[in-house]
A and B are shown apart, each in its own frame.
Chain A
Amino acid sequence: MPDTQALVMTFLTSLKNATARQTAELLRSVISQQRVPYTNQAGALIDAVKAVGEQLIAANPVELAVGNIVRRVLHIIREEDLSLTTAAIGELNLSAVSDDENDDDRDGNTTLSAAAVAAAARSTLRPPSLQTLLEDTPVSAAVPQTSSSGGDSEGKTADKSSRSRKLKHDVIEAVNELIQDIVTCHEQIAEQAVEHIHQNEVILTLGSSRTVSEFLFAAKEKKRSFRVFVAEGAPRYQGHLLAKELVARGLQTTLITDSAVFAMISRVNMVIVGAHAVMANGGVIAPVGMNLVALAAQKHAVPFVVLAGSHKLCPLYPHNPEVLLNELRSPSELLDFGEFSDCMDFGSGSGSPLLHVVNPAFDYVPPKLVSLFITDAGGHNPSYMYRLIADYYSADDLVVQRRAIAGN
């Protein structure tokens, strides 16, 4: 573990530039270096990942992608363990039938309970639903117990050790696939560009997002001719960079200020923007100014399309979006200290200056303003986000905490 701890520490210090990919790679090294005990290997892996994940999330709670990847990896571990266990129980079933005459301890209920446990295990992985409401809720520890009891009988030990190696191997393979998905999400989203951008359209965007630029380039490659309005995205003015890139690719671009969005929106056919995170209710955490664009688009009935890779999908709800999920950045982006140093002087008078500068980094766009989400899994309604969340995340992982600490 000391090696992983050092890795985690260096990662935490560089968390400002943390991306989903780096988190996934870090967790992959944590998993590969983790020693797993003979029984309940999945539990050990989950605990290890949760321990590291807790530190990562606490270090920078605004960077939601980190928490998303931690939860994805936890879900992967549970899934792989489940598929291995059901395969093992299948073998157990066959061998139990033949052992029945020899083994007195094993009563006739074994085959029955194994099938029941498998069915129950399947249901514990799926989020709770109406179908399973009346059924027993077995503890997930029941699943590894069956496998360990299976390990006690003769002739199974060889299978057990190969299965223990297999779990780690499967998990690492799945995490590699996850990393691959994260890296290629831009291409997968850009492939859908042609369906949405038509000839002679006017597109509006705000700030600069790599997903959006790849999306627009892909449409340009397919010989669609369209124009782009870029709102500059104060105070970081990243729209300037995007405008330059678009012109380099031969797209007709118009640069406007954020305040001019309402004036120009009636001339626009579609708004395409990127997102920092997508919440469970379909709301979007986006760079500041996005809510203004969304409201303008709704007023003039312009489709508001959000591009987001699936690693940006967060299973949490934005209870108080302005407070909890925002980052207040340095006022120097807005004001020049030289000119305003007397207004913002903390040393003079009462110690509290009359001029406060608030520079939030993010905005919350409610789901009713979003027309379409384009993810690497296709285009979806905001009300469909819960399905993707059920696919990618387990309900147990919403609060990433070590079980010893969690009082439940």
Chain B
Amino acid sequence: MSMSAYYQTRAAHHGVVTSDWLAQSQEAATRAVVTGGQEIVDGGKSGRAFSVIDEFNNWRKQPDLAEAVAAIRALAAVIRNSEAKTMMELEIELKKASDSLKSWDTTSISLTAGCDLFMRYVTRTSALEYEDFNSARSRLIERAEKFGEISYKARKIIAMLSQDFIFDGCTILVHGFSRVVMEVLKMAAQNKKLFRVLCTEGRPDRSGLRLANELAKLDVPVKLLIDSAVAYTMDEVDMVFVGADGVVESGGIINMMGTYQIALVAHSMNKPVYVAAESYKFARLYPLDQKDMGPALRPIDFGVPIPSKVEVETSARDYTPPQYLTLLFTDLGVLTPSVVSDELIQLYL
């Protein structure tokens, strides 16, 4: 069973770790290093130890850093270590590095989207403004470093935009641990809004427990639900807030397993579903159904041994179609799902 590195990392940052899971993930990690080692060779000239994948993994380990930021920092490191003398050469090197990153973890949408975004930026900048190669190169590195700030600012912008939608006395249902949603709720608490949060447990990571912890620290009334209790409590809910691992071209989102279920229940009971996602998560994917994406598998620990004949559904994510989403809060503004494809077309075509 191939593990999804992206969801491993997320669980490591936000999930509640059990010893069983730890053992499984360590075993998976050692396997990955063995296969990953063969990738290093193509990244650079002979004798160089630089590997874009290692660089990326270093950045990715920091819990507060978004995936796309880690990817773009890794590509910036590629530029810094590159010995290219012309823009064309640099672009080719970057393309190779970006491709190897993407193939190393095919399940991470922010990684793919971040790489693509940076590649588009590089192609556009090189053509436009700079005659001198060195100044262009330093500018690219500078912008890539700045991207971390952009990402951080993006979360602040999203938090500001969503403040109007949280009114006093409302009940918000959240699913999974999204740093953007955390920022939204933190800002609402700081603005002295009175609201209540219902938090799903989020098996198998149980990231909901960590979210409940954080919210309790902010003195926000929190109630934990098991994942199956969502329909039972949907009556008291005024709105649903989720983050997104990726926003696809149709305007739907790919997020932690369980999001689709919650959106369906909310839609059938006429509750709005709000998605908070930064714009660099927009990806050129168009899933037609749940199985249309590449599999992203996560080990699930049931606490008791399962007979080997019994299959387990280990997918870590699901796809929520756009008709179940009400609004998307992004750093580009408050958008309806149909705007997403417009933005992507403007960028890529």
Q: A-side interface residues toward B, CB under 8 Å?
A: 112, 115-116, 119, 127-131, 133-136, 280-282, 317, 319-320, 367, 381, 383-384, 386-387, 395
> If A128-B333, A280-B334 touch, does A133 touch B279 (CB 8 Å cutoff)?
yes
Q: Which of A112, A130, A319, A367 has the most CB of B within 10 A?
A: A130
What A residues does B333 contact at CB under 8 A? 127-128, 395
What A residues does B335 contact at CB under 8 A? 386
**Shortest Cβ distance from residue B167 to the other chain A in the assembled complex, whole angstroms:** 6
What A residues does B338 contact at CB under 8 A? 381, 383-384, 386
Main secondary structure of the interface of B (DSSP, over half): helix
Q: Which residue of B lies closest to A115 (CB)?
A: B129
**Shortest Cβ distance from residue B335 to the other chain A in the assembled complex, whole angstroms:** 7
15 A-B pairs whose Cβ atoms sit less than 8 Å apart in the complex:
A112-B129, A116-B129, A119-B128, A119-B129, A127-B333, A128-B332, A131-B347, A133-B279, A134-B117, A134-B147, A320-B167, A384-B338, A386-B336, A386-B338, A395-B333
Q: A131-B124, A131-B346, A386-B336 are in contact. List 8 more A-B contacts (CB 8 A).
A: A119-B128, A128-B331, A130-B282, A130-B347, A134-B117, A319-B164, A383-B338, A384-B338
Interchain CA distance A128-B346 in the complex, whole Å: 12
Interchain CA distance A66-B331 in the complex, whole Å: 27
How big is chain B's contact interface, by range? 20 to 34
What A residues does B150 contact at CB under 8 A? 133-134
Interchain CA distance A367-B272 in the complex, whole Å: 13
Q: Tell me if B165 and A129 are in contact (CB < 8 A).
A: no
Q: Tell me if B342 and A387 are in contact (CB < 8 A).
A: yes
Q: Tell me if B117 and A130 are in contact (CB < 8 A).
A: yes
Q: Tell me if B332 and A130 are in contact (CB < 8 A).
A: yes
Interchain CA distance A116-B136 in the complex, whole Å: 13
> If A115-B129, A320-B167 touch, does A130 touch B334 (CB 8 Å cutoff)?
no
What A residues does B164 contact at CB under 8 A? 317, 319
Q: Which residue of B lies closest to A282 (CB)?
A: B336
Interchain CA distance A133-B346 in the complex, whole Å: 12
Whether a CB of chain A sits under 8 angstroms from the CB of B77 is no
Interchain CA distance A253-B163 in the complex, whole Å: 48
The 5 A-B pairs of least Cβ separation, nearest first, read A383-B338, A130-B347, A134-B121, A128-B332, A130-B343
Whether a CB of chain A sits under 8 angstroms from the CB of B265 is no
> If A134-B117, A320-B167 touch, does A129 touch B347 (CB 8 Å cutoff)?
yes
Interchain CA distance A381-B337 in the complex, whole Å: 13
**Shortest Cβ distance from residue A392 to the other chain B in the assembled complex, whole angstroms:** 15
Q: Which of B279, B331, B332, B333 has the most CB of A within 10 A?
A: B333
Interchain CA distance A194-B84 in the complex, whole Å: 64
